[in-house]
Amino acid sequence: MRNNAQRRAGTHVNLRLRRASQSVNWCSVLCAALALLIATVARTADLSISVLDAHGRGVAGLVLVAMPDNAAARKRIGRVAVMDQINMQFVPDILVIQTGSSVDFPNSDQIQHQVYSFSAAKRFQLSLYAGHKYPPVVFDRPGLVTVGCNIHDSMLGYIYVTDSPYFGRSDAHGQLTLHNLPSGSYTVTAWHPRLEEGSANELHLRTTVVESEPGTVLFQLRRTVPISMPPHESKKWLDY
């Protein structure tokens, strides 16, 4: 009986040792993950981008993208954006998304629309519909996608697809701050269909992000830009 008792006691000791070992292993994993997270955050910085017109006023609504030279920093995060149809207009009229993301095209009007694009970056067509009929469209190539309606020629929208995960649009003050950019060299792009500077309606600047040091980029335009687009402007000049 003593031997049985000793064996049972030994078994309990071994179980306690295994549990203690597992706890130590989990603690090591968590500590390593936390250390990696802290190190990653420490190697990043924020980048503030400003767009000013010829009179020093902020320009709202420009697409702004910071493209890292290091391809490893171009992590893909697939998301679903929405471009609605309200009062015979695409809302918003401009979207910027990362390659691999999807766009939902609900129709909130009381009339039917037929959404399409012949752009090289994405060709698609959603036949005549109202409400919410089709699944989101996947945009798997970078580039500019011009969107129209086969029924209403005045409807016009743009989807700017980029490989970079660091993007947005300038606010009412012409400002955009991108957060937690890995340190390294970047090309910063400003784009808008009515930006008549540079080539292909876009401007580029080079910058370097230094870890833990907030950076700034300024696009100083040479003239006042009529960014707002009249809802029924002719689209004959646009490249489909």
Which tens digit of pLDDT belongs to each residue from 181-200? 999 999 999 999 999 887 78
Distance CA 83, CA 41 (A): 33
Distance CA 158, CA 45 (A): 30
Note the pLDDT of residue 46. Answer: 98
Length of the chain: 240
In this structure, the number of other CB atoms found within 10 A of the CB of residue 183 comes to 19
Note the pLDDT of residue 31. Answer: 35
Note the pLDDT of residue 71. Answer: 87
Note the pLDDT of residue 232. Answer: 40
Tell how strand 80-82 and strand 102-104 pair up: parallel
Note the pLDDT of residue 27. Answer: 44
Note the pLDDT of residue 6. Answer: 56
Note the pLDDT of residue 7. Answer: 58
- Residue 44 pairs in a beta bridge with 182
List CB contacts of 181: < 8 A, sequence separation 6 or more.
44, 45, 46, 47, 66, 68, 73, 166, 209, 215
- Residue 146 pairs in a beta bridge with 158
Single pTM value for the model: 0.77
What would the two tokens of residue 29 be? 């994993």
Tens of pLDDT, residue by residue, the chain (240 residues): 555 555 555 556 455 646 655 554 544 533 344 334 444 445 899 999 999 999 999 999 999 999 999 988 788 888 999 999 999 999 999 999 999 999 999 999 999 999 999 999 999 999 999 999 999 999 999 999 999 999 999 999 999 999 999 999 999 999 999 999 999 999 999 999 999 887 789 999 999 999 989 999 999 998 777 665 544 443 333 333
Note the pLDDT of residue 36. Answer: 41
